Amino acid sequence: MTVLGAVLPIFAIILAGYVFARMRQLGADAVTVLNAYVVWVALPALLFDFVAEADWATLAQPRFVLVFATSMLAIFGVSLISGNQRLARRSIDALAASYSNTAYLGIPLAGALLGPTGTAAAVIASLLTVCALFALSVMLVEIDLAPRVPVARRIGGVALSVVRNPLVAAPLAGGLWAVTGLAMPFAPQMFLKLLGQTASPVALVTIGVFLAQPRARSSAIDLGRAVCLKLVAQPLVTLALLLIFPLPRPWAAAALLIAALPTGTGPFMVAQLYAQDVTLTARTILVTTVLSVFSVTALAWWLVG
């Protein structure tokens, strides 16, 4: 499979979602419905099935976790300390600068380019993004917006919310099933596989529909900083870490590829949840996704072409 043969269909599905939304004049409610289906039904089925049937040696990758998590948190930290707004705003902006679209874009793209190793890397990265980065940002927002609530209580609430997230609960449940050593009955197995197979195409269409929504303008300086941190600084930091902590080639390629992915929709969700201005996060998602058509394709060509 050529690089273009693997990458272009991924972005073509996003484009199809964009064109469909513009032709049918779909609004934000369509994004909400599609996103809910992916988050609550399709992706949990895919993650449960993958983890339940995975070889645990494949998922036990401490060096990959170290490299990916360190680069992700480093970019988050740089963005957090470089802003001059209040903590809640800075934490959401930092999330937008470091939150790779690991689940919606990473799983189909890494899987197409790198096979089972790429899929495993994207699943691990998705868990790190949701369990660590997303939770950290939410905790900082809570600390800023609810200063009278004890910190321990806020941290406990964030931890509970993370565990309840279907993208976290599903792979945890899959791991518990794997520990039992029981074989998955045929009917549930087919149910999970059929649902899981819808996750990637529907998620990619959802990105396209999201990008088709009208967006207000944001500060060019803030937007440029977020885009540069996400598409340039994060993969460069990852590359530097790989020189210090070498990984086998497929895992190293996956770490670089996933670090270079555009911003996912997580920051937009956090901004909406806490009634913060969504302009910068929405524009960051839009610009990084459009530019990643060229940057990710070029990187993929260098890595596996």
pLDDT of 229: 97
pLDDT of 305: 64
Give, to the nearest 10 degrees, the angle between helix 62-82 and helix 249-259. 20
Instruction: Find all residues with CB under 8 Å of 32, minimum gap 6, and list them.
Output: none
The pair phi, psi for residue 26, each rounded to 5°, is -75, 140
**Confidence grade of residue 35 (pLDDT, cut at 50, 70, 90):** confident
pLDDT of 160: 79
pLDDT of 2: 61
AA identity, residue 222: D
pLDDT averaged over the chain?
A: 89
CA 216 vs. chain centroid, Å, equals 23
Comparing CA positions, the residue from 249, 303, 301, 232 lying closest to residue 7 is: 301
Comparing CA positions, the residue from 118, 229, 213, 102 lying closest to residue 167 is: 102
Can you tell me the mean pLDDT for 125-133? 88
For the chain, what is the radius of gyration of the CA atoms? 19
Cα–Cα distance measured from residue 97 to residue 262, given in angstroms and rounded to the nearest whole number = 9
Neighbour tally for 11: CB within 10 Å: 21
Question: Quick check: pTM over 0.95?
Answer: no
**Confidence grade of residue 134 (pLDDT, cut at 50, 70, 90):** confident
Cα–Cα distance measured from residue 260 to residue 2, given in angstroms and rounded to the nearest whole number = 19
Which range, 10-19, 42-51, 132-141, 230-239, has the best average confidence (pLDDT)? 230-239
**Confidence grade of residue 245 (pLDDT, cut at 50, 70, 90):** very high
pLDDT of 8: 85
Cα–Cα distance measured from residue 152 to residue 171, given in angstroms and rounded to the nearest whole number = 26
Q: ∠ CA 247-249-254 to the nearest 5 degrees?
A: 85
Cα–Cα distance measured from residue 26 to residue 18, given in angstroms and rounded to the nearest whole number = 10
pLDDT of 96: 95
Give yes or no for residue 83 having a pLDDT over 90. Answer: no
pLDDT of 288: 94
The pair phi, psi for residue 213, each rounded to 5°, is -75, 145
Cα–Cα distance measured from residue 65 to residue 69, given in angstroms and rounded to the nearest whole number = 6
